[in-house]
Amino acid sequence: MRHSYRLPDLCADENPHSFASFPGREQMMCNSLRLMGAFALAAAFLTPFPALAAEDPVRPAYASSFDRRGWNLWEIFARDALERGRIVNRAAENLSTTSEGQSYALFFALAAEDRKSFERIFRWTEENLCYGDCTKNLPAWLWGRSIGKDPKTGAATEIWGILDRNNAADSDLWIAYSLLEAGRLWKNAEYAKKGRELSELILSESFDISGLGRVIPPGAVGFRVRGLARQNPSYYPPFLLKRLEAENPAWREIRMGAMRTILRGSRSGFSADWADFDQTGTAHGVKAELGSWDAIRVYLWAGMTSADDPDAAVLKRALSPMIRTTDEAGVPPERVVGETLTLSSPGPDAFAACLLPWTRNTRTGAFARTLLAKNEISGYAYYKSVLTLFGLGYDRGIFAFDAEGRLLHPRGMP
């Protein structure tokens, strides 16, 4: 089997979506695919393959209807993980809450039209992570329990509060987006205003990298290393940036810089978790970088981008090696080392959820649904749970995005 990839060369600002030929590493890819195929074959013997019958393919444990107001996945997750407006990571010793968890929960509540939970999640986030005002302070990324001394007695005591003041840019974007869309869909002027002002605050943190474009730092502190700017490609869901661009055209530069970041961080067709860029826009370390628990979201976001958005075709072509690997192996790998294209053993079931937007009409997609039928949805499996909610929520037609990034409720996509 030979592979011929056409991967992006985005050096020219005028034409950021131009492509140049890039030869695949045939033997390494074939060896890796054979290895993945062996894992998939073993999984098939251990897990019954779903019959391709005419019945509803979603798992029986959660399938009630396509009515977003009765989205069982969100209800199950919220019942276990949502506590007084915060998503609790119950597997963490400090029972922590992250801005990421808050931002995802805010979106899920919006997609489910769960207005009560949306309000509680937002109020908790603003009061506890944004120092009372999300239009002036970006959310701190980590909140939880620590042990300190009682100022009066000196005895050890629990202290609940912010554990790390640094922000996480992807969470900031999801919160701004969800507020804007809640304002639009629910005709709530307060949400819309806060969403706009938060997006302007995020925009004010952006900076230029010559040859790459305008980007957002992943966090305010710690992402400049020896003259290199560190970026996380999974922090840039294309549809979020399209929606923000509709509010303020200045976001177009961010979107184009984000596309270059994603594509240059995926030179081999497999995204890196992190990529360092110099001031010429050249990515460093990508070939040797590991793509795993962060990078899996790159495929998820790209797959959920509307087919009417020109960026979707660009991303699908650039990421086709991962899509093809998953299709041939039956499941995505947990880790990919960029330089050698070495693929690890299969990833957790939640990784299969992230490729569902690409595989939903194939036997690979049917197999993924069978795997996900046994996936735990709880605060004890926080990250796997949210990946599953995104993948299956999209797969079931609970939500989608149009070419301008607006949230849609298609109720069951074809």
Return the residue matching tokens 């070939």. 287
Question: What mean pLDDT is predicted for residues 25-50?
Answer: 37
| Per annotation, catalytic residue among 9, 100, 126, 309 | 100
User: What pLDDT sits at residue 231?
Assistant: 95
Among 293, 287, 319, 286, smallest CA distance to 304 is for: 319
Give pLDDT tens digits for 83-117.
999 999 999 999 999 999 999 999 999 999 999 99
Most confident of 26-30, 254-258, 343-347: 254-258
Which of residues 367 and 48 earns the better pLDDT score? 367
Amino acid at 148: G
Could you confirm whether 150 is annotated as catalytic?
Answer: no
Give pLDDT tens digits for 285-325.
765 578 899 999 999 999 999 999 999 999 999 999 999 99
Residues of the chain with pLDDT > 70, as a percent, come to 80
CB 384 within 8 A of CB 372: no
Helix axes 189-203, 238-247, angle to 10 degrees: 100
Confidence of residue 50 (pLDDT cuts 50, 70, 90): very low
| Per annotation, catalytic residue among 170, 276, 309, 311 | 170
CB 279 within 8 A of CB 210: yes
The two structure tokens encoding residue 146? 């620590």
Could you confirm whether 170 is annotated as catalytic?
Answer: yes
Confidence of residue 154 (pLDDT cuts 50, 70, 90): confident
Give pLDDT tens digits for 229-281.
999 999 999 999 999 999 999 999 999 999 999 999 997 899 999 999 999 99
Give pLDDT tens digits for 208-235.
999 999 999 999 998 987 889 999 999 9
Q: State how beta strands 156-164 and 142-149 pair.
A: antiparallel
Which of residues 51 and 207 earns the better pLDDT score? 207
Q: Flag the least confident range among 14-23, 118-127, 352-361, 401-410.
A: 14-23
Burial class (CB in 10 A: 0-12, 13-18, 19+), 113: middle
User: What pLDDT sits at residue 34?
Assistant: 40
Residues, the chain:
414
The two structure tokens encoding residue 379? 């605060």
pLDDT at 78 over 70: yes
User: What pLDDT sits at residue 290?
Assistant: 84
Q: What is the mean pLDDT of the chain?
A: 84
User: What pLDDT sits at residue 42?
Assistant: 35
